Amino acid sequence: MSLSHLYRDGEGRVVDDDDDERENFEITDWDLQNEFNPNRQRHWQTKEEATYGVWAEHDSDEERPSFGGKRARDYSAPVNFISAGLKKGAAEEAELEDSDDEEKPVMQDDFPKDFGPKKLKTGGNFKPSQKGFAGGTKSFMDFGSWERHTKGIGQKLLQKMGYVPGRGLGKNAQGIINPIEAKQRKGKGAVGAYGSERTTQSIQDFPVVDSEEEAEEEFQKELSQWRKDPSGSKKKPKYSYKTVEELKAKGRISKKLTAPQKELAQVKVIDMTGREQKVYYSYSQISHKHNMPDDGLPLQSQLPPLPGKEAKVPGFALPELEHNLQLLIDLTEQEIIQNDRQLQYERDMVVNLSHELEKMSEVLDHEERVISNLSKVLEMVEECERRMQPSCDDPLTLDECARVFETLQDKYYEEYRMSDRMDLAVAIVYPLMKDYFKEWDPLKDCAYGTEIVSKWKSLLENDQLLSHGGQDLSADAFHRLIWEVWMPFVRNIVTQWQPRNCDPMVDFLDSWVHIIPVWILDNILDQLIFPKLQKEVDSWNPLTDTVPIHSWIHPWLPLMRARLEPLYSPIRSKLSSALQKWHPSDSSAKLILQPWKDVFTPGSWEAFMVKNIVPKLGMCLGELVINPHQQHMDAFYWVIDWEGMISVSSLVGLLEKHFFPKWLQVLCSWLSNSPNYEEITKWYLGWKSMFSDQVLAHPSVKDKFNEALDIMNRAVSSNVGAYMQPGARENIAYLTHTERRKDFQYEAMQERREAENMAQRGIGAAASSVPMNFKDLIETKAEEHNIVFMPVIGKRHEGKQLYTFGRIVIYIDRGVVFVQGEKTWVPTSLQSLIDMAK
pLDDT in tens, 626-638: 888 888 889 999 9
Report how far residue 137's alpha carbon sits from residue 124's, in angstroms, rounded to the nearest whole number. 30
Residue 832 lies in a domain: yes
Report how far residue 346's alpha carbon sits from residue 357's, in angstroms, rounded to the nearest whole number. 16
pLDDT in tens, 185-241: 777 777 777 777 777 777 776 666 556 777 778 877 777 666 555 555 556 667 777
Residue 293 lies in a domain: no
For 227-241, give one letter per residue: b (16+ CB within 10 A) or e: eeeeeeeeeeeeeee
Helix axes 677-689, 660-671, angle to 10 degrees: 170
Query: Which of 526, 549, 573 delimits the end of a domain?
Result: 573
- For residues 797 and 809, is the Cβ–Cβ distance under 8 A? no
pLDDT in tens, 246-261: 888 877 776 454 444 5
pLDDT in tens, 254-311: 645 444 455 555 778 888 887 888 888 777 676 655 544 444 444 444 444 444 445 5
Residue 778 lies in a domain: yes
Residue 780 lies in a domain: yes
Pairing between β-strand 278-280 and β-strand 269-271 as defined by DSSP bridges: antiparallel
Residue 517 lies in a domain: yes
Report how far residue 60's alpha carbon sits from residue 777's, in angstroms, rounded to the nearest whole number. 120
Residue 415 lies in a domain: no
HSE, CB side, 13 Å, CA atoms: give it for residue 298: 7
Q: Is the pTM of this model over 0.95?
A: no
Report how far residue 186's alpha carbon sits from residue 193's, in angstroms, rounded to the nearest whole number. 10
Residue 221 lies in a domain: no
pLDDT in tens, 724-776: 566 666 677 777 777 777 776 676 676 777 777 777 765 444 444 555 677 88
Query: Which of 550, 573, 596 delimits the end of a domain?
Result: 573
The boundaries of the domain holding residue 791 are 774-836
Query: Of 69, 61, 62, which is closest to residue 48 (Cα–Cα)?
Result: 62
pLDDT in tens, 442-460: 888 888 888 888 888 887 7
Q: How many CB atoms lie within 10 A of CB 670?
A: 17
H or E segment at 825?
strand 825-828
- For residues 616 and 584, is the Cβ–Cβ distance under 8 A? yes
Query: Which of 527, 552, 573 delimits the end of a domain?
Result: 573
Position 553 scores a pLDDT of 93
Residue 758 lies in a domain: no
- For residues 836 and 808, is the Cβ–Cβ distance under 8 A? yes
Number of domains forming the structure of the chain: 2
